[in-house]
Amino acid sequence: MTSPSPSVRILTPDLARGAALLGIAIANAITAWSLRVGDVPQGYHRTLSGIIVNDSLWDKIMVVIGTLFVHVRGLPMFATLLGYGVGMILVREQRKGATKKQCRAILLRRYGVLILFGLLHMVFLFYGDIMFIYGLIILVLVIPMRNAKNKTLLITAGVLFALAMVMNGALLSYSDMNAVLLHGYGHGYVQDQLVRGASLAFMYNFLRFPFALPLVGSVILVGFVAGRNGVLEYPEQFRTPMRIAATITVIIVVTVGLPLGLANLGILGHEKVFYLLNILVGMASGPGIVVWISWIASWVERRKLTDTLPIRMLTALGQMSMTGYVLQSVLFTIIMVPWGLAIGAGRGVATVTLIAAGIWVVTMVFAYLWSLTHKRGPLEILHRTLGYGRPPNAKTQIM
């Protein structure tokens, strides 16, 4: 099944990607960029969702807000949108008359380039890059299944998600969270980034790929089905599944995110258990978050607010999300790590959140100013040039 062709660019994906970059900036800042090697100073309480300094009320508040709306929320939303984009690209190329073989070649080249970008980003800028894994999942899962029926794809997604619960649950249950998740910066660029990034790229990513494939791949497949069927373009035709997805997200936030926050504060026990649940079950929140943002986008459009400056800035960042994502890494490297300016390094959750939000605002301003040139983002231009073998025109597309 293919979706009808919309006459105008839809707002939801741009808003969603722009907003997701805020969550990703905060999550990465708390769990990676702000962490330092060595013992935690006196008065500092390290949780699996960040550091609380001197029993700070603001740090505690931000820990709970983070477990509700930040940690394992942006990643599944982006995974959903990634799959959605693959579905839209496939439909678009089919309308142009591309054969199955040509469609496969286009997708292989486009997402092969994404893998390359992710690899370079992982080695030289941020070892926690996600583009590399995203691209691999598209190549080994989505492209081979691109012509399958919707029912087959959704059943496959369900089976993969259940498999992921078992595989990742067993793996993470025996992991030392302090060693795996809280390994900070402090040895210099070569050891902290180059050596670690290269090691992850050439060893750890391939070792963890069998575990990431079913977990992230299940969400990408759901997004692919939605994109192939035009769910966001014509939501009135998909009200029931959209409401179900939105409800699932609320349930996850309340029953998984909130207990994790309370466990981080010591109000509940079993912090590691709730952390693992959020990592695993939290992936299912992605489609529902996109639905919630689609309802916000609809509200914005009904009130004719799309041309207001905040919306224009947010959508500009969403349209060049790859550039915005990599720019975050550049700014975090300059500002936060010990061999940079070390501003906020090793600080509490509230301080780190403010710095991350500030960096996100800088990327949004950059994206808006760049959008005034009516060109795609710098990395988007390079991606499309390498991915399609020709320079892109100035007019932007959804993905």
Whole-angstrom Cα distance, residue 294 to residue 233?
10
> How confident is the model at residue 206, as a pLDDT?
75
Whole-angstrom Cα distance, residue 119 to residue 115?
6
47 — phi, psi (to 5°)? -110, 175
> How confident is the model at residue 40, as a pLDDT?
66
| Consecutive H or E run containing 381 | helix 378-388
> How confident is the model at residue 35, as a pLDDT?
87
Burial group, residue 267, by CB count within 10 angstroms (0-12, 13-18, 19+) = exposed
Q: Please write down the long-range contacts of 273-279, taking CB distance under 8 Å and 24 or more positions apart.
A: 275/48, 275/49, 275/177, 276/169, 276/172, 276/173, 278/67, 278/71, 278/72, 279/72, 279/168, 279/172
- Listed as ranges, residues in the chain with pLDDT below 70 are 1-8, 39-40, 172-183, 204-205, 389-399
The size of the chain, in residues, is 399
> How confident is the model at residue 186, as a pLDDT?
87
89 — phi, psi (to 5°)? -65, -45
Q: Which amino acid is at 244?
A: I
* Percent helix, percent strand, percent coil in the chain, to nearest 5: 70, 5, 25
> How confident is the model at residue 8, as a pLDDT?
60
Q: What is the pTM of this model?
A: 0.92
Question: In the numeric block, which tokens belong to residue 60?
Answer: 């505690």
